[in-house]
Structure 1
Amino acid sequence: MTTSPSLPLPRASADETPDTIQQRQPAAAPPQRRWHWSWKQVWFQLHWFIGITAGTVLVIIGLSGATLAFKDELLDVMNPGVRHVAVESRAPLTPGQLSNIAAAEHGQRVASITMYAQAGAAPRLFFAPKNGQRRGESVYVHPYTGATQPALAGAEFFEWTESLHRWLLLPRDPGRQVAGALALCLLGLALSGLYLRWPRRPLDWRTWLTFDPALKGRSFLWNLHAVAGTWCLVVYVALTLTGIYWSYDVVRDNIDAWAGKPPRVAQAPGKKGPARQKQEAPAVDIGLAWTSFQQHAAGWTLASVRLPTRPGEAVQFTWLASDAPHERARSRLSIAPADGAVTENEPYSQQGLGSRLVNIIYPLHMGTYFGLPGRIIVTLASLGLPLFAITGWMLYLGRRKAKRAVQAQRAMLGAGAPGQANTGLPTLVAYASQSGQAERLALESARALQQAGVAVDVQSLDRFDPAQLRQYERALIVASTFGEGEAPDGTRRFARLLQATSGTPLAGLEVGMLALGDRHYSAFCGFGHALERQLRALGATPLFPLIEVDKHDPAALADWSKALARCSGSAIDAIGVQEQASYAEWRLARRVLLNPGSLGGELHEITLTGPAGTDWEAGALAEIIACNADGSDGDAHGAQHAPRSYSLASLPSDGELQLLVRQERHAGGENLGYGICSGWLTRFAPLDSPIRLRLQANPAFAPALVDVPCIYIGNGSGLAGLRAHLRARQRAGLARNWLLFGERQHAVDSICGAELDAWLADGHLARLDRVFSRDGGTQRYVQDRLRDQAGDLRDWLAQGAIVYVCGSLQGMAAGIDAVLQEVLGQEGLDALLAAGRYRRDVY
């Protein structure tokens, strides 16, 4: 929504400067928002809850996994000359020779031998397990002498680390299940994080993967957490899905059965059954089998040789070819030791698809499927888990701190003054607020009075009846002016009822008035003055002369503080001196002309970036310091221009701040015939130039992220605020939306047409009514279309629909107001306003 630069200020005498997003009060939102969460809120709560609980343990799994990723290389560095010896000219010993030497030296039967084709690589021998053992011992032997190599230093540490990674040092079976549960938690964190971060332009890789190191504070933490998480997302999904395979027997058994593998239960240790007499196989010469293997397995790089355990058994070879796609792509050979005949040959390429897919699980988990780059990526992703835990905790604690500050501020109002008792009838502290500033000042005033020992009753005039004023002897009212001397939207019912009251029913009531406004408008503080006049006409007497506040004028607020002090009889701290949100420096990223050739003047989509991580709510406003064509911000007398306000057309999750700005043109002037702020944004400001901006809360136009229908009505640049609302509703999965939008010509003024059509096609918009006043003979406007659809309007309202209006105050907004009054009657319209179901952002 743009504002008319022909006026000194864009928004007609609303509250002077609303609180920042972090300070805003939620009173303008409908009460049901306290009890209903959107799906996005649910996922957010789950994301942070899992993150601060399971996330801490996942750090241990991540660090241990990173340690194991390069275990072999680390062992070689720690144990030079053990697993690799100097290459000699003589031939290495065969598996049979190595087996005989080791059996004689250690007095144990060799169960299997792992041979390596690489010259100088030490074979590894595995002995048969002893009674009560799950697996036997293993040793490395010299490939040319058969001598046992020294034990690997650090091997016990890596075994302990592997137990920590796989079972968290718990007993094996419960440890596996706990690790599996943590894997599911990591999967949930990854997918919920993806959902929470999903941007409006998902195909723009910069939105996903770009990190801004210049950010500071919470913005830095959020950007780092989100971008790094995106980089690691695919890796975490792969790690969790493969980890679950080993964690749960039911998962592994079903996958193995599908792949055609034999069940593992029959091989599991500790199963009771009839005892069988072990029959040790006599020493078997496997020389012929080894020779036959080398003939049939050309290009082998690794071979696991399983020796026979009973007479007549074949020698089992499981081997890896030099061109194998990964380390588990192993072929199988069975060779009779007596004559070297092949009894079974199963190359990897001929194995079943299911078996080959199962064999991929381990390489994917370790990253070896993609070679050295894959291992590095998995290691970095594992090391990233502490980063997410730390940044997640810091963001969580920051939110908790901010929440406690807000709760403390609210609690102060009910705490009373220490050591003092409130006596007598309470003083009414009431407010009429459009965008939140009047409400904040009223709450601050009430707290100050309470600390001074005065009993207070804080009320919004939105939900107040004039007859209730008779219950009080003293009332302090903070009243904002909207439009040209009008009451704020929510207070219109109160103002109408008060105007209809006659006589002197308020005799005996003392009233003090703080009126908020802007002197650039003809009806400066118009509603405050009108309200005081009517209260006097009804018999109320003034406590002190009405105090006017022009855009948070500190002198006027000081007068208000003094007046409160006189009323309470005690010193009152200055009201309204809290530091206001400072202007931040944003950058002009791009501007796009949306309506070339339009009769209504150019409408541009303005995109600003930075500081990332800044949060706002649909319906919020951007207050921008207006600049001249040369970039200066002063008028001819050197005074800084009054800022301009625009409705935000995007959400924080879009990764950028967007506005829809109408380029205003007028005759001559210091800006060459262009509006001061609109000309700067749409024409003169170079790309990447700094834009001084601060966000404003707009509680009166708060989004409805609950499952109720919403009717959105607007024209021209007013589509900006409606678009942000509709995006928020889409991401919350709320589809009962009806949009009525008016412009001039369909051919050139179909603003954001592709986005609206897509919403209509996918069902996000239940209805879309576009009205173009210059197409056809009779000029018709959006309010005329709404009047034509009065029956549907009644049906939607009967279902609890909330009506949002964004656009020009004169013409469109006034016309919508008239239609609603026709359809509902004055009482029905008042009820809609009182329930917070008629929300306007008009200018």
Structure 2
Amino acid sequence: MLKKTFFQMHWFLGITAGLILSLMGVTGAIYSYDQQILKLINPESYTVQAENTRKLSPAELYQHFHIHDPALKINSITVAASPTASSVVNIVKKGDKHGLNLMVNPYTAEKLPEIKGQEFFKFIKNLHRTLTVGPVGKQITGACTLILIFFALSGLYLRWPKVHTWKQWLSFKPQLQGRNFIWNLHAVAGTWVFVFYIVIASTGLTWSYSWWKNGMYTLMGVEKPLENKKNESARDPAEKHTEHGSAPTQHTQRSDHAGNAVISDSIAAKKPREDRTEKSDALSPVEIHRALNQTWLGFNAQMGREYSTLTLNLPKKDDGKVEVSFVDVIPQHERARNKAVYNYQSAHIEKMELYADKKLNEKVMSSILPVHRGSFFGPLYQFFAMLSALSMPLFFVTGWMLYLKRRKQKQLTLVAKQKGLMSEVDPDATPWLITYATQTGVSEQLAWGTASSLQEAQQSVTVKPIQKLTLSDLQKFEKVLFIASTYGTGEAPDLASSFSKNIMSQSLDLSHLKFAVLALGSMDYPETFCFFGHYLHRWLEENQATALFETIEVDNSNAKAIQLWNEKLATVSQLKLKSSNIEHTFDQWTLTQRTLLNPNSLGAPAFNLELQAQHEAQWQAGDIAIVQPGNSLERIQVFLDQHQIDADAHVDSLNQSIQHALWNKNLASDIESVTNLDLLVNQLPDLPIREYSIASIPTQQVLRLVVRQKMDNSGELGLGSGWLTHHTQLRDKIHLRIRTNPNFHLIDDNRPIICIGNGTGIAGLLSLMSARIRQGYTENWLIFGERQQAHDFFYKETIQAWQNTAMLKRCDLAFSRDQAEKIYVHHKLREQADELKSWIEQGAVIYVCGSIQGMASDVDATLIEILGADVVDQLRHDGRYRRDVY
């Protein structure tokens, strides 16, 4: 439930706050390289022609502007070490606490062209932080940044632990299509940018909320600096100098200057010194010039370090101190400034604070902007941080696409359910009741197909599963169609057992009733072929019901038999009915992995198969993969040689060679003529399909099957197992489609589940438990059996990982050949009888997957022994006892 809640919040916030975050991401990416871009487009402002004379000192620059532009109020002066880098004079600008930078020629003090693009980046910064709407926008961007942290954490939580290798976590799959491609792009890209988004959001919030900023200082163990708004204008310009000043270089600045007495005299000549009052600490221009000159000479002589830029803040008080900041030749980032205080009266450095000497936590808290934009961690990290910010619209767009596809699918499902209600009904027509007895969903599919045909013919139709059929229904309706599967070794489907036991055990008067039965089965079990359908037919006739026509048998969803059903119905009803059939179109899947699961086992080899679709594929835990097997090239060649046919002979109707046309044909069928290849191909029916429980869920990006090799009486590999485990090769195409299996679907709540199975039955149980774990439900109990633990513990690492992470609460294993007395899963179930009762009392749902002969029947008998027949019947009726057995 927690995971489901997180998912709902994740997509809802994504389609709402995603647009703002996209805007913030793009603007943040642009602003993160503002310095580099400004220097690139303003070379005439940042660089000058190097001259053979020395650069003007800060005192000389101050003297120049005091004489030629006395109205300017100077905050600080920055001189760069590089001979081609301009100097910076920061002046007071109303409304801007950082002041305004004047780029000047360091040799002549001539003002350089104004920096172009500053207003653009100011707008980008404003858009990024406040959406240009002031405090309201600041609150919106702050809230969206908090949501970004939720996105990152919830996205990781929702994805965990779907896959178990770094390659699967971090690899894009461009071969995917449709929704699977969009989800893969969304999830994998989200994993890549996770760390960047956490860092960006955590630091960005320091500008939005003071409580967050204070919390950051507390978390990092750094004392928060005292706010001094009065001195802010004097302190901040030095930061702006580093942002928009000269780039660091390998050159150094030395203190070998002359002519300063002349400068001082010129200031005095221009403007005689004004005596200061006792109440004022302000310095006269001559005193400021002297302070700058002595600081420049003394600090350069004493500091003993090279630097790329050095900034002197103009002194505001007559305390003999000047604040100095300088940047190392190769700084860690653009705001890695060293700070010092120089006492020009005593001619010594009173305080030196080197950035490199700070602890990591102090560096982080004093460099929030570089951490935010990524330059704190180096240029490579900054580049990827910029790409991560630029990718925010990707998540907004893909999130919307996934939402719209999910919404469209729900709408299509609703339309399909309501389709019958939209048909016009002939008021004089006698209503039909169609009831189906299904184990794996085929009967249900045919029931709804038949209902659709009748409804389009303006007939009133009611469709019911046989377990919900009542005596009242049999008395009310005059025409009833039964579509019934035979399961296992001749039994009724699980959900039909209550009808068989409670209704068919009675003698009724059904003389008013006309019926027809469509019986589904498999000739692989000739002794019990369509047994339940025939049993149902006999019972109806014994109770005076009248058959519309004889029971129609369907072998493995044979299309001709189903078409006969449609024709018979059309004849007796005198209605024009559309064809109702089972979909036999197969999709193209690629076999990407085949691994032997049980080397050296006493049993037949069992394989883990992984397939990937060439299309958008969806299924649920518990669904079935239907595979169209094929013939090996050797078998096809034997057939061609037997009938003296050239392998390259062309089949006109299929526009392919006869060798390719025969790949899925039953070559053991009787044929009348081989003179015409088109006729030959049409005579041969397709090979029977094979069904396998799916062992994975869609979010694992592969469709996994567990297939054990079977041998026929002649010693040849079985049709399906031979095709999948031997005849096909990796990267070959597999013809496969997915059939929904609602009777084995996972419950959608957090009730406990008990998964019982043996051998390759682990497949269906794996998909169920994978889905449960994805939902965050931990009340899971696995009872699994095989031959030897050393060789037959299928998916051991996965199961043990679930145990270690407490996602699998109980696990009981029965390896029959590891001791003298054979132990099977029903023995483990009997050993845990009290625990079983406890779980059932808590609402547990039982899932059984594996062989019906032996395991499933023994488990069923043991459940009846422990719980009682009535309880087991009620569990089956309530959907709390579900089986996928074969």
* Normalised-by-shorter TM-score class: 0.7 to 0.9
Deviation at 1:713, TM superposition (A): 1.1
Task: Please tell me the residue identity of whatever aligns with 2:72.
Answer: Q
1:177 to 133, 139, 146: 139
Q: How does 1:115-514 map to 2 (within 5 A)?
A: 115-130=79-94, 134-171=97-134, 173-202=135-164, 204-256=165-217, 258-264=221-227, 280-283=282-285, 284-285=288-289, 286-295=292-301, 296=303, 298-312=305-319, 314-338=321-345, 340-351=347-358, 354-417=361-424, 422=427, 426-502=431-507, 504-514=508-518
CA distance in 2, matches of 1:444, 1:677: 28
Cα RMSD after superposing both structures: 2.9
Task: Please tell me the residue identity of whatever aligns with 1:282.
Answer: S
**Structure 2 counterpart of 1:75:** 38
1:636 to 652, 667, 675: 667
**Structure 2 counterpart of 1:102:** 65
1:515 to 487, 512, 519: 519
2:709 to 646, 659, 663: 663
Taking a change above 3 Å as real, the CA distance of residues 674 and 801 of structure 1, as seen in their structure-2 partners, is same
Moved more, 630-639 or 249-258: 630-639
Taking a change above 3 Å as real, the CA distance of residues 563 and 625 of structure 1, as seen in their structure-2 partners, is closer
**Structure 2 counterpart of 1:779:** 822
Tell me if the contact between 2:754 and 2:847 (Cα under 8 Å) persists in the aligned partners. yes
Task: Please tell me the residue identity of whatever aligns with 2:869.
Answer: Q
CA distance in 1, matches of 2:689, 2:118: 69
1:800 to 840, 843, 847: 843
Moved more, 485-494 or 510-519: 510-519
Deviation at 1:101, TM superposition (A): 2.8
CA distance in 1, matches of 2:280, 2:451: 90
Task: Please tell me the residue identity of whatever aligns with 1:166.
Answer: R
Deviation at 1:836, TM superposition (A): 0.4
Q: Which runs of 5+ in 2 are unaligned?
A: 234-278, 635-662, 669-683
Deviation at 1:494, TM superposition (A): 0.8
Deviation at 1:815, TM superposition (A): 0.8
SS at match of 1:674: coil
Percent pairwise identity: 37
Taking a change above 3 Å as real, the CA distance of residues 322 and 439 of structure 1, as seen in their structure-2 partners, is same
Deviation at 1:754, TM superposition (A): 3.4
**Structure 1 counterpart of 2:542:** 537
Deviation at 1:477, TM superposition (A): 2.6
Deviation at 1:710, TM superposition (A): 1.3
SS at match of 1:831: helix
**Structure 1 counterpart of 2:680:** none
Taking a change above 3 Å as real, the CA distance of residues 665 and 99 of structure 1, as seen in their structure-2 partners, is farther
2:23 to 60, 64, 72: 60
1:738 lines up with 2:740 in the alignment: no
Taking a change above 3 Å as real, the CA distance of residues 651 and 77 of structure 1, as seen in their structure-2 partners, is same
**Structure 2 counterpart of 1:653:** 699
Q: How does 1:656-805 map to 2 (within 5 A)?
A: 656-666=702-712, 668=714, 673-805=716-848
SS at match of 2:730: coil
CA distance in 1, matches of 2:612, 2:578: 39
Taking a change above 3 Å as real, the CA distance of residues 394 and 251 of structure 1, as seen in their structure-2 partners, is same
**Structure 1 counterpart of 2:606:** 603
SS at match of 2:310: strand
Task: Please tell me the residue identity of whatever aligns with 1:583.
Answer: D
1:112 lines up with 2:76 in the alignment: yes
Task: Please tell me the residue identity of whatever aligns with 1:621.
Answer: I
Moved more, 251-260 or 625-634: 625-634
Report Cα offsets for 1:615-666 as digits up to 9, x if no partner. Answer: 3222122222324454854443465432322222222333333222222235
CA distance in 2, matches of 1:655, 1:51: 23
State the number of aligned residues: 789
CA distance in 2, matches of 1:381, 1:795: 51
Task: Please tell me the residue identity of whatever aligns with 1:830.
Answer: D
CA distance in 2, matches of 1:287, 1:465: 106
Taking a change above 3 Å as real, the CA distance of residues 582 and 683 of structure 1, as seen in their structure-2 partners, is closer
Task: Please tell me the residue identity of whatever aligns with 1:606.
Answer: L
CA distance in 1, matches of 2:126, 2:703: 49
Tell me if the contact between 2:589 and 2:612 (Cα under 8 Å) persists in the aligned partners. no
Task: Please tell me the residue identity of whatever aligns with 1:741.
Answer: F
CA distance in 2, matches of 1:343, 1:175: 44
Deviation at 1:791, TM superposition (A): 2.6
2:551 to 525, 532, 546: 546
Tell me if the contact between 1:300 and 1:321 (Cα under 8 Å) persists in the aligned partners. yes
Tell me if the contact between 1:709 and 1:796 (Cα under 8 Å) persists in the aligned partners. yes
CA distance in 2, matches of 1:101, 1:60: 45
Report Cα offsets for 1:197-216 as digits up to 9, x if no partner. Answer: 335543x2221222233333
Task: Please tell me the residue identity of whatever aligns with 2:733.
Answer: P
CA distance in 2, matches of 1:784, 1:450: 51
Tell me if the contact between 1:489 and 1:840 (Cα under 8 Å) persists in the aligned partners. yes
CA distance in 1, matches of 2:614, 2:423: 39
CA distance in 1, matches of 2:629, 2:231: 76
Tell me if the contact between 1:94 and 1:290 (Cα under 8 Å) persists in the aligned partners. yes
CA distance in 2, matches of 1:532, 1:606: 41
Taking a change above 3 Å as real, the CA distance of residues 747 and 137 of structure 1, as seen in their structure-2 partners, is closer
Tell me if the contact between 2:178 and 2:615 (Cα under 8 Å) persists in the aligned partners. no
Task: Please tell me the residue identity of whatever aligns with 2:503.
Answer: L
**Which is higher, the Rg of structure 1 or of structure 2?**
2
Deviation at 1:307, TM superposition (A): 1.4
SS at match of 2:60: helix
CA distance in 1, matches of 2:137, 2:284: 40
CA distance in 1, matches of 2:147, 2:391: 16
Q: Which runs of 5+ in 1 are unaligned?
A: 1-37, 271-276
Task: Please tell me the residue identity of whatever aligns with 2:155.
Answer: G
**Structure 1 counterpart of 2:587:** 583
Q: How does 1:37-56 map to 2 (within 5 A)?
A: 38-56=1-19
Moved more, 422-431 or 537-546: 422-431
Report Cα offsets for 1:543-584 as digits up to 9, x if no partner. Answer: 34434444444444444445555677654433347x555322
Report Cα offsets for 1:414-461 as digits up to 9, x if no partner. Answer: 3342xx575687432222222223223323433444454433332211
Q: How does 1:617-632 map to 2 (within 5 A)?
A: 617-630=620-633, 632=663
SS at match of 2:846: strand
SS at match of 1:81: helix
Tell me if the contact between 1:50 and 1:185 (Cα under 8 Å) persists in the aligned partners. yes
Tell me if the contact between 1:628 and 1:677 (Cα under 8 Å) persists in the aligned partners. no
SS at match of 2:308: strand
Moved more, 698-707 or 810-819: 698-707
